[in-house]
Amino acid sequence: MNIALPFKTPHHEHADLVYSRTGVARVGQHEMNYDRINRCFTNKPKDGVPVQRSAVVPARYGLFIARRVKSTDVNLMTTGVYKPGDKFDDKDDPKRTFIQPIRKVFQHDLLFGEAKLNFSEMHRSEKLAKLVEHTDLKFYKDIKPTVRNSTHLIVQDTKTTNVQSSFLVVSQPNELIRLSKEGDEPVYFWVPAMIPGEDGYSRNRYFTSFNTQEVQDVELLVNAQRRNYEKIPNQYNEPRTQPLFLNITHEQDTVNAMGFREVPKQGEFEQRLNDGMFHAPVFEDSICEGSVNAQISIGNNVALKGISQNSLPAYSIVTAPDFFPQVDNFDLMVYDVAPGTAVNVSHFYEGGLASLATARLSPNPELLSIKESIDTYTAVLSHKSKTATPAAKAGKFNDPTLPKGYFVSGFLPDVASSVFAPGWDVTYSADKPGSTDVYLSTEGLGSPFVEDMKLCAAANGMWPASSPDAARTYQGSLDPWSRNPTAIPLLDDEIGFHKNSPGGKSMKKETFGWDGVQGPFLENIDGKWKINFADIGRTDVVQNALDGKVDMSKLRELTSGELISRMTCLKHCIDHLPKVNFKGYTSADKMVAFTRWWLISAEAVDFGNEDAKGWGIPTNLIGADTKWVTDKANARVSGKGYLYVIVDVNGKKVTWDGFGRRRVDCTALYVCQVVANAVGKPKLAMATIKSGKAKWTIS
C-alpha cells in the first residue's frame, strides 16, 4: 500500500490509496531515513552523514481483507506506449483476476477478536550461487559463492521492522558493493579466454565485462512502417539464469586493476582481458528478493463468513538504489513512442519507460508457492473512480511538469522498470537456461549491479526513471552504427569536470560525476578541435564504487519537471540541426532516439538575468573569451533554459589521452541557447561555429 497523490494514482482524479502485492525496497550504505515533513522515506542519509552516500529505503507492507475482481472493477496503471506482442504484457487484463484490498487488518483488531497480528519475511540472494549451478566457471581453491539469506541481508530488529499494524522490509546497511567472501576466504573465478563469434564480436565479452550467456531479446525502437515507429517488446525467450555480466577488470592479489603497475601500452589492457586465463574477484551487493507473510489468529467466538484464514504472501524485491527518487516512469511517457501514431517523439532507442506495474510476469515460484492470481502480482491499482472531475479530464492533476512544492517517493512497482536487459530493479529467470516458463527474479542481474549500471547508463539509461543517463559521457566509445545519443541530459556539474576541460581550468580543479567519472569536453590539439571523452571499456565504475566515489547527492533532488524541461529543449535543438542519424535511418523525422548529434556540454542558465558559466566552451573557441555567449547582455533568448554544446565527430579516427580517455575529431559544432517557457513551446538561438566565428539563427 502507498498513499498516492492525484498524478500518481491510476485514475489521476484525486489522492487515493494505491495498492500492490509487490514491494520494492532499495539497498544503501546507511540506516533508513524517514522524512516527516514529506511523509516518505528518502535515500538521503540522516544529518551528520555525507550526503553523497545513500540510506536504505524500505518497503511497507500490511495485511488486508481482499476480494478477487476483474480489471473493470478497479483502476490499473497501464502501459500506454508499447505495442502488445506477447502473453506477459497487460493487453489481456480484461481476462485476468486481480486482488483488491477492501479493509486493512490492524493489530488487536476488534473484527478478529483483538488477535495479535504477526509478520514474517524470507529473503534470498541467489545471484552468485547460480553461477555455480548454471555455468562451468572454475573458482580459486574451489571456494564457491553460496546463497545469502535474510540474516545476511534484511534488518531483523522488530523495533525497526514492526510499525504499528504494518511491517517494513529494510535492507541491512552495507557498502554498495564489496568483495564476496565465504567465511574469511575471498571468492575468485577463472576468466576464460575470449570466444570469437561468427560476426566478429566476442561471444563471452560485452565491452570489458564477462558475458555469462548469449541473449538477444532487447527492447528496441524500430521503423515498423514508413514514418511509424514501434518498440519491439521483449519476448522473454532467454531467461537470465545467473548474473548476465561479471566484472573482470580486476585481478587477484594485485595492486592496480588488471595488475598493471604502470599505465599499459595501447591495446595491452584490452588484450589482457581478451586473453583471460586469470583469476578475477567476485563482487557482491545486497540485492535480493523474497516474500512477506502475515498471520492472525481468529478466536472460536469470531465468525467471519467467507473470509479465508490463509493470507496470501507479498512479493518483496530489494534492489539497486533509485538515483531519481522524484521521477517515475509514467511521468516521462510523452517521450516514449506510442504505437499507431504518426508523431515520433521517442528519446529511447534501447529500453524505455515500461513500468514493472504493467508486467504480467509471475514472481519467483521458489519464494511464493501459490497459484492465486500469480500473474497480476506486480499490478498497481486503486479503487474504481465513479466520476471524472473536470480538472481530471483536463489533466491538471496529472501534469508532472508543474511544481508540486513537496518531495515524494514510492516503493510500489510503478516506480520500478520492466526493461530486462538484464534489468535495473529486477529481471526474469527460469529454472534452467532456455526454458519458456519464466518468472520475475533478481538472480539474473549483473554482478555487482554497478557493472550493469555502467553498461546500460551508457545506452542512455535503459531504465530512465531510475538509472542515470551516461550516454554523453561515453558516446564516442560506441560503434558509429549503435551510438545511442543522450535521452535525458545530465548537466556538466552532474557528470564531472576533467582538469583539462574548460570548466576544470576555470575552476582550477577537477570534479567527478554521479558515477565517479568525468564528462566529455572540447580541446584544441595542434590547431584542431577534438572531443576528449571517457572510454567505456577502461572506465572502472566498480573501483569507483569500492572507493566510495558513487555520489547519490548529484541527482536525488531532480524532479520530473526538470528532466522534462531538459528533454524538451534537447528535442527542439535536434529538430533544428541538420539530420545525421546512426544505423542508416533516412526518415525525415529527426528523432532524438536516432540522432548522431552528441551533446557534450549542458548548463542551466536563466538567460537575460544571469551570466552563464560557459563550463563547456573554451575561451579560444571564438576570440579570446566566452563573453560572446555567456554575458547576460548577449543572451538571444529570455528565461530559464540551457546552454547546450552539440557536436558531430569523425568516429573512425580515435586516439588515446592517457589510459582511460580518448580523443576524436570534431567535424561540426553548434552552441545553443534554448529555453522552454512552456512545455512544447521552446525558443532556440543556435550558433554555428566555423573558422573561429559564430553565425546565429533564431527559431
pTM: 0.94
Would you state the pLDDT for residue 230?
77
pLDDT grade, residue 397 (50/70/90)? very low
Does residue 572 have a pLDDT over 60?
yes
Would you state the pLDDT for residue 421?
86
- Which range is least confidently modeled, 252-261, 367-376, 681-690? 252-261
Q: pLDDT tens digit string along 264-309? A: 677 788 888 899 999 999 999 999 999 999 988 766 555 566 777 7
Does residue 486 have a pLDDT over 80?
yes
Residue 538 lies in a domain: yes
Residue 500 lies in a domain: yes
pLDDT grade, residue 160 (50/70/90)? very high
Does residue 44 have a pLDDT over 80?
yes
Residue 607 lies in a domain: yes
Cβ atoms 684, 699 nearer than 8 A: yes
Residue 486 lies in a domain: yes
Residue 602 lies in a domain: yes
What mean pLDDT comes out for the span 687-698?
A: 94
d(CA 192, CA 677): 55
Q: Which domain holds residue 634?
A: 468-698
Residue 686 lies in a domain: yes
pLDDT grade, residue 340 (50/70/90)? very low
| Phi-psi region at 526: left, alpha or beta (left = phi > 0; alpha = psi -120 to 50) | left
Does residue 679 have a pLDDT over 70?
no
Residue 319 lies in a domain: no
What mean pLDDT comes out for the span 418-429?
A: 90
d(CA 161, CA 157): 6
> How many domains is the chain partitioned into structurally?
1
Average pLDDT of every residue of the chain: 88
Residue 368 lies in a domain: no
Cβ atoms 337, 231 nearer than 8 A: yes
d(CA 554, CA 514): 6
Angle at alpha carbon of residue 400, lines to 395 and 406, rounded to 5°: 120
> Beta partners for 294?
119
Would you state the pLDDT for residue 686?
97
Would you say the C-alpha torsion 129, 289, 419, 93 has a positive or negative sign?
positive
